[in-house]
Structure 1
Amino acid sequence: MRPLRYSINITLDGCCHHEAGLPPDDESMRYWTTEMERADALLFGRVTYEMMESAWRRPSTGGWPDWMGEREIAFAEAIDRAEKHVVSSTLGGVDWNAELVRDDLAHAVQRLKQEPGEGLFVGGVTLPLALAELGLIDEYAFLVQPVIAGHGPTLLAGLRERIQLELVERREFRSGAVALHYRPARATA
């Protein structure tokens, strides 16, 4: 069974708005490109899908925009070619190598996890909360930014029950950001 990984940038005070942290540098872009490449498929809610598509989909001209450097192109190519599953009851359709997920969320995600492969990536705010509540997230990967945002959406806000995690990897970046990878702790009898 392939694991479902929730990966997101967060600030020290738990804000997970995509513009709240530090501007991306070479090291963080390599990190996020590797996260994209570790996944066989991406799982997004409508808002995250639309945001990612507007920023990272290859233009119809075939070339990448002039503002993209080598590091952005590597990330864009990884996300552009990835298989995507979009959870939405409001979208009429999707493309960009994507399919809509409309049926029972738990059943649909269990089906995706049972497919062969290295892993599923989920990002965003609302969908990961629902997946955490269902106990479907197998790994949490946070790139903690050395910033206190003071406002904005916070990580897993509204979670009904505590999830105990165990640290499996920690990596410090030159910028002061820290990548933390956790798995749900195994229950001890």
Structure 2
Amino acid sequence: MRPLRYAINVTLDGCCHHEAGLPPDEESMRFWTAELQRADALLFGRTTYEMMESAWRKPASGIWPGWMDDWQRPFASTIDGAPKYVVSSTLTDVDWNAELLPGDLPDAVTRLKQEPGNGLFVGGVTLPLALANLGLIDEYVFVVQPLLAGHGPTLLSGLREHIPLDLVERHDFRSGVSALRYRPIP
């Protein structure tokens, strides 16, 4: 069974709004690129899918936008080319190497996990909460930003039960960011 990995940036006070952390640097972008490369497919809710597509989809011209630095292009290429599944009750069609995930969420995700491969990557806020509540997440990666946001959506707010975790890896960045990898304790 391939693991489902949830990874997200989070501030020390638990804020996981995409604009609340430190701006990405070369080291963090290398980390995120490697995380995406560990996955056979990405799993997004509608909001995360649309946000990522608007930022990281390669333009029809085939030329990355001028705002993108050279060190951001490996991440952009990786996410742009990755297969994606989108969970949405409002979208009727997706593209960008994506397909809508049909059916009941727990059954559909369980089917994806049962396929052969290296793993699945899920990002965002709402969908990971639902998956955590269903006990379907096999690994949590929190990239902890050394700041207090004081606002915004918080990490896994609304979780129904405690999930005890075991720290299996830690990577500290020069910027003061720490990437913490946890697995649920059975």
**TM-based fold match above 0.5:** yes
| TM interval, short-chain normalised | over 0.9
Q: For 1:102-143, what per-residue CA distance to the aligned partner results, in whole angstroms no more than 9, with x for missing partners?
A: 310000000110111111000000000000000000000010
- In structure 1, stretches of 5+ residues that fail to align are none
Cα RMSD over matched residues? 0.6
Q: SS where residue 100 of structure 2 aligns?
A: strand
Aligned pairs for 1:158-173 (under 5 A) are 158-173=158-173
Q: For 1:14-33, what per-residue CA distance to the aligned partner results, in whole angstroms no more than 9, with x for missing partners?
A: 00000101000111011111
* Contact 1:42–1:84 (Cα < 8 Å) also in 2: yes
Partner of 1:145: 145
TM-score (norm. length: structure 2): 0.99
Q: For 1:77-124, what per-residue CA distance to the aligned partner results, in whole angstroms no more than 9, with x for missing partners?
A: 000110000000100200001000131000000011011111100000
Q: SS where residue 158 of structure 1 aligns?
A: coil
1:37 partnered with 2:27:
no
Partner of 1:102: 102
Partner of 1:80: 80
One-letter code aligned to 1:79 = I
Partner of 1:124: 124
% of aligned pairs identical?
74
In structure 2, C-alpha distance between the alignment counterparts of 1:147 and 1:39, rounded to whole Å: 29
Partner of 1:182: 182
Number of aligned residues? 186
Q: SS where residue 157 of structure 1 aligns?
A: coil
* Contact 1:89–1:102 (Cα < 8 Å) also in 2: no
In structure 1, C-alpha distance between the alignment counterparts of 2:120 and 2:102, rounded to whole Å: 18
1:25 partnered with 2:37:
no
One-letter code aligned to 1:137 = I
One-letter code aligned to 1:54 = S
Partner of 2:53: 53
TM-score (norm. length: structure 1): 0.97
